[in-house]
Amino acid sequence: MRRQLRRLGLGHDARRSVSTTDENFYRWTQWIFLKVFNSWYDEEQKRARPIDELEQGYANGSIATPDGRPWNELNKTDRRSAIDARRLAYLSEAPVNWCPGLGTILANEEVTADGRSDIGNYPVFKKSMRQWTMRITTYADRLLDDLERLDWPEPIKLMQRNWIGRSEGARVHFATPAGDLTVFTTRPDTLFGATFMVISPEHPLVDALTTDENRQAIQDYRVAAAAKNQFDRTDDTKEKTGVFTGTYATNPVNGAPVPVWVADYVLMGYGTGAIMAVPCGDQRDFDFARRFNLPIPAIQQPPVEWFTSRELEVQHGSRVDTSTWPEAFVGDGVYINSSNDDLQLDGLTSVAEGKSAMNAWLEAHGRGNTNINFKLRDWLFSRQRYWGEPFPIVYDEDDQPVSLPDSMLPVLLPELEDFKPQALDPNDDVTDPIPPLARSTEWREVVLDLGDGPKKYRREINVMPQWAGSCWYELRYLDPTNTDHFVDPAVEKYWMGPADGGDGTTGHTGGVDLYVGGVEHAVLHLLYARFWHKILFDLGHVSSSEPFYRLFNQGYVQAFAFRDPRGQPVPASDVEERDGSYWYEGEKVSREYGKMGKSLKNIVTPDEMYDEYGADTFRLYEMSSGPLEASRPWNTRDVIGMQRFLQRVWRNLVDEDSGRSLVIDAPASEELRKLMHRMIDGIRADMDALRFNTAIAKLIQLNNALTQESAAVGGSPREVVVPMIQMLSPLCPHIAEELWQRLGHANTVTFVPFPVADQSLLVEETIEYPVQINGKVRTRLTVPNEADQATIQALALADEKVIAALDGEVPKKIIVIPGRMVNLVV
RNA sequence: GCCCCGGUAGCCCAACGGCAGAGGCAGCGGUCUCAAACUCCGUACGGUGUGGGUUCAAAUCCCACCCGGGGCACCA
């Protein structure tokens, strides 16, 4: 890889090369983890603060303890859990994809549609396990809001917004025999239509809400739901399933009993894991109600068109009959059946008014409050693998996590003979995973002095996920060999500090000036890295509040691929085209199109291109074929065009036979000089905007003009050649440098400033105006640059072609756009 | 199902609401040559996915639809 980067002349700085698996790197990953672990999020100040300040706040009473008791009344264990409950890295029980047959937890992407492992086809179970988790949800608002301040492609921002998934609504409390059951809803105004409730099979109140006669059915349903994977559970093409708990809750607005059901279409991970079902206004609830014969009262009057477009008789007031409806009514309509003694929604037409009236009522009666909910979940941060950063955490005699001091970093991985995960009986969903690090007892069991004398501890045997190192590596590039800091603060400020110096005048976030990467990182790496960076910013370790100020997503290189009649890909390089068909070893093959890669056998390696055409041609071809952000096809036979271009450049400067210079000191023609300045002006703008394709087109245009003039006057004017080579240098550095030396320069072209256009030469003395009649071009006028509108108009009307075309008619309207064109409307 | 991006010449792609063409590939004609390749010069081809709308003027703005690519997906 390094060899390939180097031979293509890519500006890769080996002195700033880092490896996230190097202990000198991951020592700082562990250090940052400790900063996260030893901090908490202050909701009032909206920032992370050191954990000591939480303890001080508890102690002096400025921060309420979780159960409200004074700090000095809490014992050691209570104090500890009061603090641990607020840490930004914390241990939690979370359901994961557990595959005993492989001995590891799998990502959702590694589980097949029928709930088995992608590799080995072993059963996968949903299992709740104690896992390290990062409290990224506390940053949801800031991660969302600060997107506005970043120079990122809008689609990527949108993907992050959708992923964070902010929605405004309300929490509503329904009384049940087992205590309040709280739901999250975005439509509190529809509460009068709530006729049943659905809770997730994992909801903590399931047992308490289940009556004895329904216990077996509920239990069976929960087991079945647990065996399903996420794919099955969220497959909305399947018919809804569910079981009644036997218990009724009370609708707070009208006192109606509402049955509580358990169904797996409600997810524990979103909202409160419980919903109020309003079947008349929500298609899922409507389907569920129809399936289980639950009532569907109407609470909004659908408009006339809603009925007519469904070929129903229009229903009004008491005649509204949902039993005739083919589907739920989702939209704005006048509220009906939505009033109680002190809340009247009936007659309102605005959902916004309905919501605010309902929210006020709920607050006043203590049955709910407005609430903002996010789709974003806290980040599961442990993995049961060998390769990964060990946590700088040990467990004490109470099995509680204790952070190691900086002086004990790095915590190195132990040497193991076998570092594969421990496989178990494929159907053993009871035994916990045994991470590879558990195998080294001497590594795992340690005696340490953490300030209160030598004691026995047990190391954390999970490791961090692969994202950990990439959450901050961009900072290490700034200062890769620093042994005292992960990055020197002054160095960070120099490279990544906000443009306004941090005084907030421009709102600039600071961060990497330009980050080029694929769109596949839109929500994982780019969200995790922003999260860590913001913690480091809050704690004062960096001056930038975002890691990547400007982001650019380059497109993929795609290529044709070919399959034989059996559907197997065949090597694209050996396919021949004959008579419009494609042939491989005498067999006709079919052509398709996809991302260049091994599986489609359509790879063209940089080395092949380097050997055949050279690095500069290869670079130009890649950049010229289309916009950087666009995925586009690779077509080897098009590469020749860029090679010819470079050969033409060469021949304009060097005589091929004798090798002598063809550059002359005589001035260029006025025309060529003007063209050159126009090209300089355009190329500068193109380069700034990363439009390399149009920059290259302009360079070709300039060189083509130079070719003509060179042939005419017997040499290439130096005043054109020099800027042209300067502009070629960033695109094709090797040939540019060679020609630069041949022009007699002792220095390197790389450090010569980019040419600047002479603005006075960008203005033409005469302008050619197209003259349109009713939008169609009929003739062209050449008009002096300084001609005013009236002059141009007079010239246009006096033109003989115009007179002929008008044929005596008088134009109704004459539009003259100075510098552009003339349009006559008749 | 919802959302995003794109659709211009045989192909890859340009075009501040203002003459559809910057550039490259392929093609054709010429130039060179004994011939060819290379070179150089010249050149045809489309009216911008479809249908409406706004405008003096639409590839460009708006609406609907079609096709291709991508994201999210029972999110309450």
Q: pLDDT of A164-190, one tens digit each?
A: 999 889 999 999 999 999 999 999 999
Contact A356, A363 (CB under 8 A): no
The pLDDT-based confidence of A367 (bands split at 50, 70, 90) is very high
CA of A738 to C1' of B41 (A): 29
Amino acid A237: pLDDT: 54
* Neighbouring residues of A97: CB distance < 8 A, sequence distance ≥ 6: A105, A106, A107, A108, A110, A111, A124, A125, A126, A229
A800, exposed or middle or buried, with CB in 10 Å at 0-12, 13-18, 19+?
A: exposed
> Is the model's pLDDT at A565 over the cut of 90?
no
DSSP sequence for A455-509: EEEEE---B--THHHHTTHHHHHTSTT-SS-SS-HHHHHHHHS-TTTTSSSS---
A261 sits in which H/E element: strand A257-262
3 state SS of A224: helix
State how far Cα A779 lies from the chain centre: 51
Of residues A505 and A561, more confidently modeled:
A505
Minimum-distance residue to B56 (CA–C1'): A825
Q: Residue A774 CB closer than 7 angstroms to strand B?
A: yes
- Locate A200 and state its tokens: 């997730």
Q: How far apart are CA A219 and CA A229, in angstroms?
A: 18
Q: Which of residues 387-426 of A touch strand B (CB under 7 A)?
A: none
Q: How far apart are CA A100 and CA A433, in angstroms?
A: 7
Conformational region of residue A431, where left means phi above 0, alpha means psi within -120 to 50, and beta covers everything else: beta
Contact A30, A411 (CB under 8 A): yes
Amino acid A693: pLDDT: 94
Amino acid A330: pLDDT: 79
CA of A575 to C1' of B13 (A): 26
How many beta carbons lie within 10 A of that of residue A102, not counting itself? 23
Q: How far apart are CA A36 and CA A40, in angstroms?
A: 8
Amino acid A511: pLDDT: 96
Amino acid A138: pLDDT: 94
Q: Which of residues 86-105 of A touch strand B (CB under 7 A)?
A: none
Q: How far apart are CA A577 and CA A584, in angstroms?
A: 9
Q: Which of residues 227-256 of A touch strand B (CB under 7 A)?
A: 233-236, 238, 240
Q: Which residue reads 């033109």 in tokens?
A: A799
> Is the four-CA dihedral A331, A334, A336, A342 of positive or negative sign?
positive
Q: Residue A631 CB closer than 7 angstroms to strand B?
A: yes
Tell me which range, A28-42, A94-108, A626-640, A781-795, is most confidently predicted by mean pLDDT.
Answer: A28-42
State how far Cα A212 lies from the chain centre: 48
Q: Does domain A765-825 have CATH number 3.20.20.140?
A: no
Q: Residue A284 CB closer than 7 angstroms to strand B?
A: yes
Tell me which range, A1-10, A92-101, A741-750, A810-819, is most confidently predicted by mean pLDDT.
Answer: A741-750
Amino acid A99: pLDDT: 82
3 state SS of A517: strand
* Neighbouring residues of A70: CB distance < 8 A, sequence distance ≥ 6: A61
Q: Which nucleotide is nearest to A637 (CA to C1')?
A: B25
What pLDDT, in 10s, does the model give residues A136-148? 999 999 999 999 9
| Lowest-confidence region among A232-236, A406-410, A713-717, A816-820 | A232-236
Q: Which nucleotide is nearest to A237 (CA to C1')?
A: B74
Q: What mean pLDDT do residues A563-585 have?
A: 73
- Locate A585 and state its tokens: 């070893």
Amino acid A789: pLDDT: 83
Minimum-distance residue to B73 (CA–C1'): A234
Q: Which of residues 436-495 of A touch strand B (CB under 7 A)?
A: none
Same CATH topology for A166-374 and A765-825? no
CA of A175 to C1' of B14 (A): 66
Specify the long-range contacts of residues A332-336, CB closer than 8 Å, at least 24 apart. A332/A300, A333/A300, A333/A301, A333/A302, A333/A303, A333/A306, A334/A300, A334/A301, A335/A189, A335/A299, A335/A300, A335/A301, A336/A298, A336/A299, A336/A300, A336/A301
A557 sits in which H/E element: strand A557-563
Mean pLDDT for all residues in chain A: 88
What pLDDT, in 10s, does the model give residues A616-627? 999 999 999 999
Q: Which nucleotide is nearest to A696 (CA to C1')?
A: B23
Q: Which of residues 157-216 of A touch strand B (CB under 7 A)?
A: 158-159, 162-163, 165, 167, 169, 184-187, 200
CA of A813 to C1' of B71 (A): 49
Q: Which of residues 132-161 of A touch strand B (CB under 7 A)?
A: 154-155, 158-159
CA of A339 to C1' of B27 (A): 77
Q: Which nucleotide is nearest to A188 (CA to C1')?
A: B76
A385, exposed or middle or buried, with CB in 10 Å at 0-12, 13-18, 19+?
A: buried
Minimum-distance residue to B15 (CA–C1'): A694
CA of A578 to C1' of B57 (A): 47
Q: What mean pLDDT do residues A437-463 have?
A: 92
Q: How far apart are CA A22 and CA A25, in angstroms?
A: 5
What pLDDT, in 10s, does the model give residues A245-268? 999 999 999 999 999 999 988 888
Q: Exposure pattern of A330-353 as b/e (b: 16+ CB <10 Å)? A: eeebbbbbbbeeebebeebeebee
Q: Residue A825 CB closer than 7 angstroms to strand B?
A: yes
Q: Does domain A166-374 have CATH number 3.90.740.10?
A: yes
Amino acid A768: pLDDT: 80
Q: At what angle do helices A615-624 and A692-713 cross, to 10 degrees?
A: 120
Q: Residue A377 CB closer than 7 angstroms to strand B?
A: no
Contact A586, A593 (CB under 8 A): no
DSSP state of A366: T
Q: Which of residues 572-611 of A touch strand B (CB under 7 A)?
A: none
CA of A693 to C1' of B13 (A): 9
Contact A702, A652 (CB under 8 A): no
Q: How far apart are CA A196 and CA A248, in angstroms?
A: 8
| Lowest-confidence region among A367-376, A476-485, A494-503, A804-813 | A804-813
Using alpha carbons, select from A91, A86, A94, A92 the residue that is nearest to residue A38: A86
Note the strand B nucleotides within 7 A of protein beta carbons: 3-5, 11-16, 18-20, 22-26, 38-41, 56-58, 69-76
What pLDDT, in 10s, does the model give residues A742-755? 999 999 999 999 99
CA of A610 to C1' of B24 (A): 19
Q: What mean pLDDT do residues A760-767 have?
A: 83
Domain residue ranges of chain A, discontinuous segments joined by +:
23-140+380-468, 166-374, 640-761, 765-825
Q: Which of residues 795-814 of A touch strand B (CB under 7 A)?
A: 813
Q: Does domain A640-761 have CATH number 1.10.730.10?
A: yes
Amino acid A522: pLDDT: 83
Amino acid A740: pLDDT: 96
CA of A697 to C1' of B60 (A): 22
Backbone angles phi, psi at A383, to 5 degrees: -135, 150
- Locate A471 and state its tokens: 């959450």
3 state SS of A675: helix
Q: Which of residues 495-534 of A touch strand B (CB under 7 A)?
A: 519-520, 522-523
Q: Which nucleotide is nearest to A523 (CA to C1')?
A: B71
CA of A639 to C1' of B25 (A): 8
> Is the model's pLDDT at A669 over the cut of 60?
yes
CA of A420 to C1' of B13 (A): 50
Contact A463, A388 (CB under 8 A): yes
Helices assigned H by DSSP within A552-669: 606-613, 615-624, 640-653
Amino acid A468: pLDDT: 93
- Beta strands A379-380 and A125-134 are antiparallel
Q: Residue A704 CB closer than 7 angstroms to strand B?
A: yes
DSSP sequence for A497-513: S-TTTTSSSS-----BS
> Is the four-CA dihedral A310, A314, A317, A320 of positive or negative sign?
negative
Amino acid A683: pLDDT: 95
3 state SS of A138: helix
Amino acid A232: pLDDT: 57
Q: What angle do CA A361, A362, A365 make, to 5 degrees?
A: 85
CA of A624 to C1' of B16 (A): 23
Backbone angles phi, psi at A43, to 5 degrees: -65, -30
Contact A771, A799 (CB under 8 A): yes
Q: Residue A267 CB closer than 7 angstroms to strand B?
A: yes
Q: At what angle do helices A718-728 and A692-713 cross, to 10 degrees?
A: 160
> Is the model's pLDDT at A497 over the cut of 80?
yes
A100 cis-preceded (ω within 30 degrees of 0): no
Q: Which nucleotide is nearest to A185 (CA to C1')?
A: B76
- Beta strands A587-595 and A581-584 are antiparallel
CA of A805 to C1' of B58 (A): 24
Q: Which nucleotide is nearest to A768 (CA to C1')?
A: B19
Q: At what angle do helices A525-538 and A23-37 cross, to 10 degrees?
A: 70
The pLDDT-based confidence of A124 (bands split at 50, 70, 90) is confident
CA of A649 to C1' of B12 (A): 23
Q: Which of residues 607-626 of A touch strand B (CB under 7 A)?
A: 624-626
% pLDDT > 70, chain A:
96
Q: Which nucleotide is nearest to A770 (CA to C1')?
A: B19
CA of A166 to C1' of B58 (A): 38
Q: What mean pLDDT do residues A370-391 have?
A: 89
Amino acid A234: pLDDT: 54
Q: How far apart are CA A434 and CA A129, in angstroms?
A: 12
% pLDDT > 90, chain A:
55
